[in-house]
Amino acid sequence: MKKSIFKKNELLSIINRAIIDLPSPSTINSLWNFGSILGVILIAQIITGIFLSFHYNSDITTAFSSIISINYRINNGWFLRAAHANGASIFFLIIYFHTIRNIYYNSFFLSITWVSGITILLVSIITAFVGYVLPWGQISFWGATVITNLLSAIPYLGTTLVEWIWGGFSVDKPTLTRFFSFHFLFPFILLVLVILHLVFLHRTGSSNPSGINSNSDKIPFHPFFSSKDIVGFLFIFSTLLLISTLAPNLFTDPENFSMANPLVAPIHIQPEWYFLFAYTILRSVPNKLGGVLALIIAILILYFFPLINNNSWQGNQYSPEKKVIFWILINNIIILTWLGIKPVEFPFNFLSILISPLYFILIIIIPAFNFLRKK
């Protein structure tokens, strides 16, 4: 009995040190709520995903009809699916905000925490991609065909790798079964990565808007910042509730309401909105291998931010020059996203070729800003 009481008290002590009494910079604001919001949304996605998996059939002959069954025959199934699908959009919106905020405030100098966060972003992208294939609609099927076929551009191993992912010579039943397994497994890998991310964050401490070391100016996390987090949770879940009930198909491509047909390709194949900027970069390169490399580098370049600039604390985020460069980057990403929904024809393909290189230039200049400024 004493041993169980001791273990309980020890657990409470760990929680108290990790959350309640966690020393936090007094200057951090609501922009530092994104991380905790992402954790709560991830839990919600896992819970809704588990319930949806009870009724989903990972077979090409019944997958589409099982989605219809969830929407119309399962009690509150329509809400579960809408919350899960729209929750993915909100998750990516917040994770992009979280990443952009860290870039603006130079948080990448916390290298281990930054690398673990970018890994979470990459695994989230893979999880969302394989999940979008599961409804087995037209865009789901053809999106999977186009994106997985890009791997064939890899010299020597490309074709073998594509056939291994497909489980055959085309996107078919084995592909859907594998993607369902991946989509079920990856969120739990994400959960482990998030826990590691939090461990690294608690070990190094958080950045702050002032961009200076504030070890002498820290206050307990609770109640000063936990109250802000609760307000953030309420706002996000209210938004998700409104979208899921009033406009559940707001982010759904109309083509995906038709069952997958390998013989008829949609006129315009495009991914979900949160992948459009990368999709524009991919198709702006006329060479297939070059496009794949550009797509991979567009994300993987974030891993090298701590190497480009490893200064521990710096307060340059308020300089007018950096603000201008930062907002040009944001507008560049917005334009790339807009171009992603446009057909591959003039003037959109011409604009893609012009705008895409600017993304790489800006994404390198921002972390190297202090170094360039000193020169």
Question: Does 21 qualify as catalytic in the annotation?
Answer: no
Look up 206 and say whether it is catalytic: yes
CA 142/CA 134 separation, integer angstroms: 12
Residues 134 and 56: beta-carbon distance below 8 Å: yes
Candidates 183, 272, 284, 322; catalytic one: 272
Contact between 186 and 126 under an 8 Å Cβ cutoff? The reply is: yes
List 218, 228, 288, 342, catalytic entry: 228
- Residue pair 56/67 in contact (Cβ under 8 Å)? The answer is yes
Ramachandran angles phi, psi of 23, nearest 5°: -65, 125
- Where residue 76 falls (left for φ over 0; alpha for ψ -120 to 50; beta otherwise) is left
Among residues 229, 244, 253, 322, the one annotated as catalytic is 229
- Per-residue H/E/C for 109-141: HCHHHHHHHHHHHHHHHHHHHHHHHCCCEHHHH
- Directed axis angle between helix 320-340 and helix 276-283, to 10°? 80
Catalytic residue chosen out of the listed positions 55, 202, 218, 342 = 202
> How far are the Cα atoms of 78, 138, 259, 290, 337 from residue 69, in angstroms, in the given order?
9, 18, 14, 42, 33
**From the centroid of its chain, how far is CA 16?**
30
In 3D space, the residue among 270, 275, 230, 231 whose CA is nearest the CA of residue 253 turns out to be: 270
3-state secondary structure of 266: coil
Catalytic residue of the set 24, 124, 140, 206: 206
How many Å apart are CA 303 and CA 19, to the nearest integer? 28
Q: Which residues are catalytic?
A: 202, 206, 228-229, 272
